[in-house]
Copies of this chain bind each other. A is one copy, B any other.
Amino acid sequence: MRIRVQKYGGTSVADLECMQKVREKVLKALDMGYKVVVVLSAMSGETNRLIEMAGRWSKRPDLCEMDVLLATGEQTSIALFSMLLKECGVKARSMLGFQVPIQTDKSFGKARILDIDADKLKAVLDKYDVLVVAGFQGCDSEKRITTLGRGGSDTSAVALAAALNAEDCEIYTDVAGVYTTDPGVCPQARKITKIAYEEMLEMASMGAKVLQIRSVEFAKKYNVPIHVRSTFSDGPGTLVVQEDKSMESAMVSGVAYDKDQARITLVEVFDEPGVAAMIFEPISRANIVVDMIVQNPSREGKTDMTFTVPKGNTEETLKILKRIKSDIGASGILHDADVAKVSVIGVGMRNHSGVAAIAFSALKNENINIMIISTSEIKISCLIEEKYTELAVRTLHEAFGLDK
């Protein structure tokens, strides 16, 4: 049995006309001899409508009941789309999270998939040619409805593809694929033909919002090839796959940026064991995600500690720091919300020296000052003044020849 998983996002199932386009794609896959598992999101705008509604009913809507409410969005999509398939004689049926079942943990609102009963699902696939599965939702061990968080339908699709050992997992969206950078910022951005899971993870976490990060982690773990492509055109999109030789020849695959960063500097804190923990433990307990962290070499037993947090968490972070200020011996707390992070990403970086040098000199040529640098094996990130973001992205994009 050749199985293909196709996932369509909210804009792809926004109305009857869109769903008819989706039907054509599904029929084409059937013609090619596949059994198709179609994973759908809620019609675009629906999830926001429901969240807004819940906000009127309750200031802090119960998480568990929120999932019951939100799950109706995908339920509506799959019922309507199944009708559309049956209308033209396709042997199809809808499946809700609890029917598959897609077993998750009990983290309502951001549940993780624990298990999908592949044998049971394959038995259903024996009887039907298309299964239309509700994305974004699952159920816990007590059959209560859970949802997987924003973009969770991507993870549903990849998990189903992994469980069913599908040939591939197509993620249909309203863009043509993954780009070397944001085309809105840099008109020279090109569609990437093939990208490694690791690169995609770095791209996704920094605002190339095509795929939910967790879906890529899942795909990497189970080696599911993902094909990101457009619902509204027929061309090939971007393959997200395991790293291969061809990828290493390119130094850099893409440039990402993130404007949702605020910089915080603790001036002259004690340079002693345990001080870092004293700073970051209370921040983490407040559910604030710290991104870049830099500590300068110590002078006279004191050091400056700089890190970034999401802009919206600045006030709360400062409040926490003021409480511990004297314990850590800081002489001052500085902060700056007008910053942004730009990053160059590529698995090829491992084999090429000089990537950092090219990046830094490119920024220097434009007189862009670098406040913080942080690096991983396949990524170099620089914190800069926010107003230079677009210029920095275009400069780096050109410096690494991504426009060619």
The chain A residues found within 8 Å of chain B, CB to CB, are 16, 19, 50, 53-54, 56-59, 61-62, 64-66, 68-69, 71-72, 75-76, 78-80, 82-84, 86-87, 93-94, 96, 98-99, 143-145
Contact = CB atoms under 8 A, between A and B. Distances in A.
A57 B16 contact: yes
Contact of A143 (B53, B58, B94, B99): B99
B58 A86 contact: yes
Given A72-B75, A76-B69, A83 B96 contact: no
Given A72-B72, A75-B72, A76-B72, A82 B65 contact: yes
A78 to B, nearest CB: 7
A80 B50 CA distance: 10
Contact of A86 (B19, B65, B72, B84): B65
Contact of A80 (B57, B75, B143): B57
7 contacts: A54-B83, A58-B83, A65-B86, A68-B96, A72-B75, A98-B143, A99-B144
A79 B68 contact: yes
A356 to B, nearest CB: 51
A52 to B, nearest CB: 12
Given A69-B75, A75-B68, A83 B98 contact: no
Nearest to A143: B99
Contacts of A19: 57
A93 B64 contact: yes
A59 B16 CA distance: 13
Nearest to A124: B142
Given A58-B87, A65-B79, A68-B78, 17 more contacts: A16-B56, A57-B87, A58-B84, A61-B83, A65-B82, A65-B86, A65-B93, A69-B75, A69-B83, A71-B75, A72-B72, A72-B76, A72-B79, A98-B98, A98-B143, A99-B143, A99-B144
B56 A83 contact: no
Nearest to A20: B57
Contacts of A16: 56-57
Contacts of A53: 80
A83 B99 contact: no
A315 to B, nearest CB: 27
A80 B69 contact: yes
A80 B54 contact: yes
A66 to B, nearest CB: 7
Contacts of A86: 58, 62, 65
Contacts of A58: 83-84, 86-87
A16 B58 CA distance: 10
Nearest to A71: B75
A83 B66 contact: yes
A59 B145 CA distance: 32
A96 B65 CA distance: 11
Nearest to A94: B68
Contacts of A82: 62, 65, 68
